[in-house]
Amino acid sequence: MMTATTYWTSVDSPVGPLLLTAAPTGELTSLSVPGQKGGRTVRDDWRPDPGPFREAARQLAAYFAGDLEEFRLAVRTAGTPFREKVWDALDAVPYGATVSYGEIAARIGAPRAAVRAVGGAIGANPLLIVRPCHRVIGADGSLTGYAGGLERKVRLLTHEGVLPTPP
């Protein structure tokens, strides 16, 4: 069976190097950080090529420079219908705002008891930063888990003005 080529590149950022992958048609398929829980690592059959990532790199640089609040990139991710609903809800959380896991569950019409499943879907988000799972916090305002590490979550939320800049 012939598998489609996966293209990849690495982009420097204030939260460390970002590993980006794309489909042969150019859609962004993942964005991972070193040490990420469930993150991707370069495989031998992937093709290094910065070409498909020029727009993603430009938008990420603009985001970290404080000049971009909403990513507009062609993306392609594969998940269960439930995960896709959760990820769509994440895409709707605006820059500088946070929501709780329970709020995401309510937005997709899932029962309160589905909060754990929502958390699992958020943790499986293959597009860190671009799909803003860092904007999801605990119901009590606590900065609960983040696949990219809590330090990165704090840096991203500080960058977006949600958290105060440390003295």
Residue 37 in tokens: 């829980």
Phi, psi of 48 (to 5 degrees): -70, 130
159 tagged catalytic: no
Catalytic residue among 15, 133, 137, 147: 133
Strands across the sheet containing 18-22 = 28-32, 18-22, 7-11, 47-48
The candidate with the shortest Cα–Cα distance to 104, out of 132, 71, 73, 130, is 132
21 contact partners, CB below 8 Å, separation of at least 6: 6, 7, 8, 28, 29, 30, 40, 46
Active site residues: 133
